[in-house]
Amino acid sequence: MTKGQVQAYLARPHNSLWKKTVNRPGGGPYQKGVHGGTWRTFLTQDPKSFSPLHEQDSETAAVVGPLSDSLLEYDVYRRAWRPNIASYQVRVNQATQTLDITFTLRPDLWWTSLADPQKKVRVTSDDVVFWYNQIEGNPELQQSGYAGQFVQMPDGTQKRITIQKIDDRTFVFHYPRIVAMPELSSNMDFGPRYVFEPVLKKQGAAGVLKLWTIDTDPRTLPSMGPYYLASYHPGLGVTLVRNPWYWKRDRFGQSIPYLHAIEDKILPNIETVKLKFLAGDLDSYTLRPQDLSDLVKEPRDYTVYSAGPSLGAQFFSWNQNPRNKDKPFYSWFTQAKFRQAMSCFFNRQRVIDQVYRGLAEPALWFFAKPNPFFDPAIQQTYLYDPARGLRLLADLGIHPGPDGRLRDAQGHLIAFTLTVNNDSNLPIDIANVYADELKKVGITLTVRPLDFQKIVDSLLKTYDWQMILIGLSGANYFPTQGDNVWLSQGNLHLWNPLQTIPATPWEAQLDRLYWQGYATRDHAKAAQIWDQFQHIILNEVPILYTVYPEVFRAVRNRWGNVAVDNVGAPDMNYVYLTP
């Protein structure tokens, strides 16, 4: 797609199917609900663990997440932080150029379990301090929050953000320099110290990593979040039930969530999920592109909501880890022109038309639209243009042979493997479209579908992948989110993780800009920094975003307070079963 084609595409009128959907974004206020009801949904796979240390996959996160709660909440609709389980105060010391953020926990927070619901262990500062220092701060545990505990000082050295207990409910993070948004970098979930600390002392990190496997009786798991994990039957499903000790209330003073339970069926096949929904066995269903025309037909006992294009997109990345330096692909992937050429061979319009049936937008930007530093003018410039791609490869000494297949200067065929998640046809279809486009220019791309957990192991442990198509969970509302991805020392700096010093000048520049933006509280000055940051990513192409799918979700009409969007709705705290 050329720039003009992109603009024309984004300005296109919606087709007639959109008229049969409902646009109802969230943000409240919500009407008064009633308690009760079981929300029936699904997971595509079994959870891998019950431990918060193993939340890399969405299934485990869906099971583990409701057992905890975060210090703060970010209201994306109003673009403001607000207290959640803790109030807070930021103090900036201009004289020392340091910053403190002090949190005070609510007094009504408890660890309880279904196995012993009357045993209440108070949530205290000790839980937070222990988790920050001994769990997230333990490099042996390889937690995503580890990199975020350090800030780069103006002289280039790294200093750790420390935490100090003040009393049982109060603790303070001490920042060694002033930062732009301490709310973001200090916000955290955590687990119960009284469970994890004895294991850490006796068995070390290895023992902690073995805690709360899927063989653990789920009723024994402590929760301070909105739900308990009540049951798990491998291959069948998971049930969460409401935690009566949970603190949160609606604006009428009623406890929330309203739901009594959430039932997650294990349904690996998405077609089965659709049939279950149509049979009335599930309460919601996120549509695939091919489903929309059928599911908007009347009559129906559900509503199809249009949530708009997704905030995130799946992306390609190329392995630049020096562990593979003896392999031909390493010499290709470490060249910016090669990656730029790969961008020129990717046909987003074909993916939109063939894979998403027109229900997607080209993903040309680095920041998501809710990001305060999103600028629509800063976008990918290496758009689909095979001729340009071949010129870029020619600059690297890569030319077609008599058989039309591309070879490098050493005579190696340009051929490599693309790993994709096998739990959905969509990434496989995207990969096959890309493989076909590359075949046209003489490149052989072998598509390798793989189980998600094996992909995680490959990314974090063995580093034995070549090219990958993947998406990262979490909303990218702020430029400093995902520090473990964008900083060269991060464990999810996919193309070359855990660098002791930046491997390339552009990665060193990214690190510098990241820390400058991280420490700049003035929005206008910060915008100049983050503009540069985006330009580098888009020019160097360590990752290549694909498309933003349009999201449609069907929800049964028996539920009240239903709103659907891509930034936080439906808010399951407020969804209730109508009388």
| DSSP secondary structure of 28-93 | -PPPP--S--EEEEEESS--S-SSGGG--SHHHHHHHGGG---SEEEETTTTEEEESSEEEEEEEE
Residue 463: pLDDT over 90: yes
The backbone torsions φ and ψ at residue 359, rounded to the nearest 5 degrees and listed phi first, read: -100, 60
Q: What is the mean pLDDT of the chain?
A: 94
Confidence of residue 201 (pLDDT cuts 50, 70, 90): very high
Give the whole-angstrom CA distance, residue 239 versus residue 227. 10
Token pair listed for 534: 């985006």
Residue 343: pLDDT over 80: yes
Which residues, 6 or more positions from 169, have their beta carbon under 8 angstroms from its beta carbon?
A: 104, 105, 106, 107, 124, 125
Q: How many CB atoms lie within 10 A of CB 91?
A: 11
CA distance readout (Å), 86 to 46, 161, 172, 574: 33, 19, 12, 21
Residue 268: pLDDT over 70: yes
* Average confidence (pLDDT) over 512-524: 94
Nearest CA among 316, 278, 334 for reference residue 472: 316
CATH of domain 315-475: 3.10.105.10
Residue 446: pLDDT over 70: yes
Residue 10: pLDDT over 80: no
Residue 8: pLDDT over 70: no
pLDDT of residue 5: 52
42 contacts 265 by C-beta, under 8 angstroms: yes
Cβ-in-10-Å burial (0-12, 13-18, 19+) of 405 comes to: middle
Give the whole-angstrom CA distance, residue 120 versus residue 281. 36
Model pLDDT for residues 284-319, shown as the tens digit of each residue: 999 999 999 999 998 899 999 999 999 889 999 999
pLDDT of residue 57: 81
pLDDT of residue 4: 53
pLDDT of residue 565: 93
- For the chain, which residues make up each domain, given as ranges? 29-49+60-67+213-310+551-577, 315-475
Confidence of residue 483 (pLDDT cuts 50, 70, 90): confident
Model pLDDT for residues 38-63, shown as the tens digit of each residue: 999 999 999 999 999 998 788 999 99
pLDDT of residue 477: 82
Give the whole-angstrom CA distance, residue 576 versus residue 579. 9
Pick the residue with more confidence: 142 or 196? 196
Model pLDDT for residues 149-161, shown as the tens digit of each residue: 999 899 989 899 9
Give the whole-angstrom CA distance, residue 276 versus residue 285. 9
Residue 166: pLDDT over 80: yes
Query: Apex CA 502: angle with CA 396 and CA 472, to 5°?
Result: 85
Q: How many CB atoms lie within 10 A of CB 514?
A: 20
What pairs with residue 304 in β-bridges? 554
* Average confidence (pLDDT) over 25-36: 95
Nearest CA among 192, 217, 197, 173 for reference residue 69: 192
The backbone torsions φ and ψ at residue 479, rounded to the nearest 5 degrees and listed phi first, read: -65, -25
Indicate the CATH number of 29-49+60-67+213-310+551-577 among 2.40.10.340, 3.40.190.10, 3.40.50.1970, 3.40.50.2300: 3.40.190.10
Element (H, E) at 271: helix 270-278
Confidence of residue 267 (pLDDT cuts 50, 70, 90): very high
Give the whole-angstrom CA distance, residue 377 versus residue 380. 9
* Average confidence (pLDDT) over 86-94: 97
Residue 13: pLDDT over 70: no
Pick the residue with more confidence: 422 or 113? 113
Nearest CA among 6, 1, 14, 7 for reference residue 552: 14
Residue 377: pLDDT over 60: yes
Q: Looking only at Cα atoms, what is the longest distance across the chain?
A: 78
- pTM for the whole thing? 0.86
Between strands 415-421 and 444-450, the pairing is parallel
**3-state secondary structure (DSSP) of residue 284:** strand
